[in-house]
Copies of this chain bind each other. A is one copy, B any other.
Amino acid sequence: MRKITYRDALREALREEMLRDSSVFLLGEDIGRYWGGAFKVTDGLAQEFGDERVRDTPISESAIIGTAVGAAITGMRPVAEIMFGDLTALAMDQIANQAAKIRYMFGGQTKCPLVIRTPFGAGVNIASHHSQSLEAWFMHVPGLYVAVPSTPYDAKGLLKTAIRGSNPVFFCEHKLLYPIEGEVPEEEYTIPFGKAEVKREGADVTVVATMYMVHKALSAAKQLEKEGLSVEIVDPRTLTPLDRRAIVASVRKTGRIVVVSEDCKTAGVSAEIAAVVAEEALDYLDAPVKRVAEPDTPIPFSPPLEQHVIPDEKAIIKAIKEVV
């Protein structure tokens, strides 16, 4: 099968959905013809679809999301880009109080089919305001779906599902994933929300990992294979809805679980997954649950500092060894 990058997979999803449905349009800072998005995800789309449907905005994150909400409830399907995930904080009211609640508050009178795309993640030395992973905030907001694709295949399939759906989707990307290549069929496909994928089968321990951490977990698993340890890797692919069944099923098989998530440990993604296991799979557990995550610090700038806080293969291997 052909291989394309995560970035290109996202762009294909946007392009195909824009071709398919004239109500889909994009808005965000410098996503248009002069820049193509800070990470070039929308590169070329303004040239193809025009500046009205690929719309550069002022630096006004609240208004970007609010505008998307207003468009979504009146018949359009906006896909808004927030240039860096950290900056979603500026639009938190529009995301969490307006987009997520507008259907509910009004008793189901409206739908809000809106996608918010944004890159999270550390690793490129751009410090505390451009490196966070904040998925957990959005998991804690009922009314939103949260997608966390780790591969080009998942990125394309989930983004298409997000755009076609009837609900607001917080769509997480990762800076280090953009250049990663993977197989993506030429043919049309979508990926349903709420279905985890076992990215690697194994018998001895379950690792639930998301986004860029899936790749680190896979590489850790390869190393451990040499030592005779069989690691199963479950990628939830969406955090809301969360495929609890798949996680519990894997733990039932292996009896051990390590949750790997790039965000800060406390009250993060890994906390929710650990809690689900503690509630629903306790009887299967042969060892304590382990979380591998960023320590509770902002992300520092200097490379040795930054590398110190990002969970790496070594930390994953260490955690796995502690539970087996």
Within 8 A of B (CB), among A113-144: 127-129, 134, 136-137, 139-143
Chain B residues with CB below 8 A from A272, complex form: 266-267, 271, 275
Chain B residues with CB below 8 A from A289, complex form: 275, 278-279, 282
B89–A104 touching, CB < 8 Å: no
Stretch at the interface among A25-33, A174-182, A205-213, A290-298: A290-298
**The one of B86, B90, B263, B288 that contacts A140, using a Cβ cutoff of 8 Å:** B263
Stretch at the interface among A94-102, A163-171, A191-199: A94-102
**The one of B267, B280, B287, B298 that contacts A267, using a Cβ cutoff of 8 Å:** B267
Q: Is A93 an interface residue (CB 8 A)?
A: yes
A140–B97 touching, CB < 8 Å: no
B297–A288 touching, CB < 8 Å: no
Within 8 A of B (CB), among A240-280: 240, 242, 263-264, 266-272, 274-275, 277-280
Q: Is A87 an interface residue (CB 8 A)?
A: yes
CA distance A93 to B128 in the complex (A): 12
Min CB–CB distance A241 → chain B (angstroms): 10
B270–A97 touching, CB < 8 Å: no
Q: A89-B96, A97-B86, A137-B140 are in contact. Are A104 and B274 (CB under 8 A)?
A: no
Min CB–CB distance A122 → chain B (angstroms): 13
CA distance A310 to B172 in the complex (A): 30
Binary B-proximity of A295-324 (CB < 8 A = 1, otherwise 0): 111101000000000000000000000000
A267–B87 touching, CB < 8 Å: no
B296–A288 touching, CB < 8 Å: no
Chain B residues with CB below 8 A from A295, complex form: 142
A89–B92 touching, CB < 8 Å: yes
CA distance A275 to B274 in the complex (A): 5
Q: Is A285 an interface residue (CB 8 A)?
A: yes
A278–B267 touching, CB < 8 Å: no
Min CB–CB distance A138 → chain B (angstroms): 9
Q: A271-B267, A272-B267 are in contact. Are A288 and B298 (CB under 8 A)?
A: no
**The one of B105, B134, B266, B280 that contacts A298, using a Cβ cutoff of 8 Å:** B105
B97–A128 touching, CB < 8 Å: yes
Binary B-proximity of A74-111 (CB < 8 A = 1, otherwise 0): 00000000000011011011011100110011000000
6 examples of A-B residue contacts, CB within 8 angstroms: A89-B97, A92-B92, A101-B298, A134-B140, A240-B266, A278-B288
